Amino acid sequence: MEEYLSERQQIDWLRATLRENAPWALASVLITVGLFVGYQQWKAWGLRQADAADQKYEATLNALARGDADGAGRIVKELRESYARTPYADLAALALARFHVEGGRLGDAAALLEAVLKQTRDAELATVVRLRLARVQRADGKTDAALATLAGAPAGSASPAYADVRGDLLLDKGDKAGALAAWREALAAKSAGVNRELIELKIAALEPAAAPAGAGQKP
């Protein structure tokens, strides 16, 4: 009997607590439901955005395939303005930049790459874009700008490819010692990200008396 009363008292206490806290409990439930519904709607919106951006990216590639750089440029502008949170905005801009490089429009290519570098949220992509920008600037005769672009890389981004291009730029400025140091830095990293044989040839051409690292050695 005492156990029954104890359970009954617990039930009565629980009911009283629920009555007292019902408004707060209901509000908590409504907030939870609202957050869940909001998340689902946000997720669905994100999927729609990604799908629309994907289609526009394909439209950019199709326009470039037809040689319609102006049409592609309009689509890229729309992607960067309305779909900047998707990766397609950056990819479309890079595709157009490559088209401009192949067409000799180096200034237009550099402007696109600079915009991507400024706005992208992808740190790894930024590292690649910075290297491409430096190469375009070098091709456009802007050696100092290219060196500044490479120097602006965050810590850890000074890859062998960066060192290789920096060596080319320093040689353009007549700094042979600096170029050799940069190329040797690229080789010292022992990375597959650069053409090691080409770098060794550049070192050998610049300093014939010095055997390039690993060159001509036989087991």
Over residues 130-174, the pLDDT tens digits come to: 999 999 999 999 999 999 999 877 665 568 899 999 999 999 999
- The conformation of residue 212, written as its DSSP 8-state character, comes to P
pLDDT for residue 86: 82
For the ranges 66-70, 126-130, 187-191, which has the lowest average pLDDT? 187-191
Q: How many residues does the chain have?
A: 219
pLDDT for residue 4: 38
Domain boundary, last residue among 153, 170, 189: 153
Please state the domain count of the chain: 2
Cβ–Cβ < 8 Å for 194, 161: yes
**How far, CA to CA in Å, does 133 sit from each of 79, 137, 172, 190?**
21, 6, 17, 24
Domain for residue 48, yes or no? no
pLDDT for residue 101: 95
Domain for residue 12, yes or no? no
Domain boundary, last residue among 126, 153, 180: 153
This prediction has a pTM of 0.71
Going by C-beta distance under 8 Å and a sequence separation of 6 or more, which residues neighbour residue 122?
87, 90
For the ranges 3-7, 72-76, 105-109, 192-196, which has the lowest average pLDDT? 3-7
Q: What is the mean pLDDT of residues 41-69?
A: 78
Count, in order, helices (H) and strands (E) of the chain.
Answer: 9, 0
Over residues 176-196, the pLDDT tens digits come to: 999 999 999 888 877 667 889
- Determine the structural domain holding residue 82 and report its residue range: 53-153
Tell me: do 63 and 100 sit in the same domain. Answer: yes
Closest CA to 134 of 151, 159, 154, 157: 151
Closest CA to 162 of 194, 137, 138, 190: 194
